[in-house]
Structure 1
Amino acid sequence: MPASTRRDLVRGVLAGGAVLGLGGRAGAAAALGGKQAPGFYRTRLGTCEITILNDGARSFPMPDRFVRNIPRDEALGAAQAAYMPPGQVTVPFNPTLINTGSKLILIDTGNGQVQGAPVGRLTANLAAAGIEPEDIDLVLLSHLHPDHTNGLKTADGALTFPKAEIRAAAPDWSFWMSDATMAQAADPVTQAYFANTRRVLGDLRDRIGTFAWGEEVAPGITALAAPGHTPGHTAFAVASGSDRLLVQSDVTNIPAFFLQHPDWHVMYDYDADQAQATRHRFYDMAAAEKALVVGYHFPFPSLGHVERDGPGYRLVPIAWSAAL
């Protein structure tokens, strides 16, 4: 191409860019959006509708014993491999809402409002999904850790879901609401959990019912024993027609750590050995069934399938679908 032709071509491109606002003074700068899209995702399960609701996520410097039974550098390597912020670990929070056609059932309630924290988004995302707190018929608590229970109350201490029946797993309620057991708690993390149950749930003792493992807590929803993370930690099986969803709650924390490495022990597990055994049992079942799994601490929209992968497992996330 002759030099004169090249010069003419470049001039034409630059002139076109100026007209389109790509250069020069002809275009105005676009304002930054500044906000993320609402965090909810829907899918169908037989005749049920499943909505995953994002309550936010926390990134924080990895504690020395975040994984109790491996060196911190190895855990940091897993975080780096998952592209988490340098030196930090990121934990998402995603409650599950099940619309059976006759009832709206919420499994876990998120962190509640925490001043200045990137969590507590459940009610805003419910509203974005077209659901008001008064619409919820039943709240099921998988266990009594703060990130699963504190959303029961608003910032002023009122009930977030005023018309809902609230139920917790009987063994977890018995453990965490026992003053005698609380007096025996030795480590600071467990002591803080006991203190939180008194602060958030103490005045709800007559309001919260319990359920047993193996019980059908609502039509098509069965409570599954999944102890270890807490003494009464519960997962749920949701069945509609031939479809089945496993709500794993906290069988594992973030999958880049404890799904890929099910023998690693997260600092939040009350009985680490029991939690390890539960992970293997639960994920062997999920992999054998090829069941859809939702994980409270999986990356949003926290739905996928679990497959065996050497000594551990891998998460195969669902493909995002714009249609139900």
Structure 2
Amino acid sequence: MTFTRRRMLGAMGAGALCGLPRGGFAATETTLGQATITTLSDGHLVLPRDFLLGDLDPAKAAPVLAEYGITGDTVEPPCNLTLYRDGTNTVLFDAGSGHAFMPSAGELLDALDALDVTPDDVTHVIFTHAHPDHLWGVLDDFDDPVFTNAAHMIGQAEWDYWTDPATVDSIGTARASFAVGAARRLAAIEDRLDFIAGGQEVLPGIMAHDTPGHTPGHMAFELRQGSEAVMVVGDAIGNGHLALARPGWASGSDQDADQGIATRVRLLDQLATDQMAMVGFHLPEGGLGRVERNGDAYRFVAEV
């Protein structure tokens, strides 16, 4: 498996997260058999640190975060989308934020353009889950579908949760807008959606895995060609610091903290044991790399 990291020019506004000038961004790419996997930046989020910590004691978390240079009141996680091209299918995992969520995100279409990939070229959009930074980019500014030629896939449990009218009242005030936004966008693409289940080969070489906790129906996807594989983990491993250094700590970004811990610990053990490459939506350096054991914890090693 060969990795390359390259700077692409010509996408207006892309790349600010990577420290590149406006108008350029970095893409990380690897081959998997005859397929190509490319991670694309949708920009980044700006979140209060409390959203990450949840019920964790800030004083307990502070020394760990400081090791990763996080000392302020906000965190700015990158948003890495995965594009998989096998010569037949052009598959996008998640649809990004669009322009309705945060001004620091919504750069996916520029990133695709720099690859000479148009939204009409995308044959499938497969969702890990329906949080705003993964779903809201599915509609344009006029509420029309962006990926007009694509079949869209989502886990049945994820669909059931976000389309349940009771969710907006049970999810909590901080996430109520997530529920309203998800329900509206999923309704808009309902006629394009196929429901998938864990353990299902959703396309040749793409296997769905149930990874709940961050959301009730969160899924990861194993991309495999022969003996080589890459796991698209979405937000099941939600950051490059606490999630790896303290995987048994609850994450404030997980809707079910205990289930999130169980999923994260299991997934990290699998990735480290199998030495399987991965893409993390909010991991650094484009999110493409490997997990290594670090005593009782783990560390993320970006492929360069």
Match among 161, 167, 170 for residue 156 of structure 2: 170
| Distance (Å, rounded) in 2 between the aligned partners of 1:119 and 1:222 | 28
Question: 1:207 Cα deviation (Å)?
Answer: 2.5
| Distance (Å, rounded) in 1 between the aligned partners of 2:257 and 2:77 | 19
1:111 aligns with 2:109: no
Structure with bigger strand share is 2
1:272 aligns with 2:257: yes
- Per-residue CA deviations over 1:130-166 (Å, capped at 9, x if unaligned) read 1011000000011111110011011221211111001
Question: 1:39 Cα deviation (Å)?
Answer: 3.6
Matched with 2:279 is 294
- Does the CA contact (< 8 Å) of 1:137 and 1:165 recur in 2? yes
Q: Residue 95 of structure 1 aligns to which amino acid in structure 2?
A: L
1:77-226, aligned counterparts within 5 Å?
Answer: 77-84=63-70, 86-114=72-100, 117-179=103-165, 181-182=166-167, 184-226=169-211
Question: 1:205 Cα deviation (Å)?
Answer: 2.4
Matched with 2:5 is none
| Distance (Å, rounded) in 1 between the aligned partners of 2:258 and 2:269 | 17
Question: Once superposed, what is the RMSD of the aligned Cα atoms?
Answer: 1.8
Question: 1:117 Cα deviation (Å)?
Answer: 1.1
Matched with 1:305 is 290
Question: 1:35 Cα deviation (Å)?
Answer: 1.6
| Distance (Å, rounded) in 1 between the aligned partners of 2:144 and 2:211 | 31
| Distance (Å, rounded) in 2 between the aligned partners of 1:282 and 1:53 | 23
| Distance (Å, rounded) in 2 between the aligned partners of 1:60 and 1:225 | 27
Helix, strand or coil at the partner of 2:39:
strand
| Identical residues among aligned pairs (%) | 31
Match among 282, 295, 298 for residue 267 of structure 2: 282
Question: 1:82 Cα deviation (Å)?
Answer: 1.2
Q: Residue 99 of structure 1 aligns to which amino acid in structure 2?
A: R
Matched with 1:5 is none
| Distance (Å, rounded) in 1 between the aligned partners of 2:47 and 2:220 | 27
| Distance (Å, rounded) in 2 between the aligned partners of 1:116 and 1:249 | 19
Question: 1:199 Cα deviation (Å)?
Answer: 2.8
1:59 aligns with 2:46: yes
Question: 1:172 Cα deviation (Å)?
Answer: 0.7
| Distance (Å, rounded) in 1 between the aligned partners of 2:286 and 2:152 | 25
Gaps of 5+ in 2: 1-19
| Distance (Å, rounded) in 2 between the aligned partners of 1:116 and 1:268 | 17
Matched with 1:17 is none
Tell me how many residue pairs correspond in the alignment: 285
Larger CA deviation: 187-196 vs 293-302: 187-196
Match among 11, 18, 22 for residue 35 of structure 1: 22
| Distance (Å, rounded) in 1 between the aligned partners of 2:168 and 2:100 | 27
Q: Residue 58 of structure 1 aligns to which amino acid in structure 2?
A: L
Per the normalisation by structure 1, the TM-score is 0.83
| Distance (Å, rounded) in 1 between the aligned partners of 2:220 and 2:113 | 26
- Does the CA contact (< 8 Å) of 2:54 and 2:253 recur in 1? no
| Distance (Å, rounded) in 2 between the aligned partners of 1:82 and 1:213 | 34
Q: Residue 54 of structure 1 aligns to which amino acid in structure 2?
A: S
Matched with 1:24 is none
> Closer, same or farther in 2 for the Cα pair 1:288/1:160, shift >3 Å?
same
- Per-residue CA deviations over 1:157-211 (Å, capped at 9, x if unaligned) read 12111110011111111111112x3265152134222111123222322332211
Gaps of 5+ in 1: 1-32, 320-324
Per the normalisation by structure 2, the TM-score is 0.88
- Does the CA contact (< 8 Å) of 2:55 and 2:252 recur in 1? no
Helix, strand or coil at the partner of 1:55:
strand
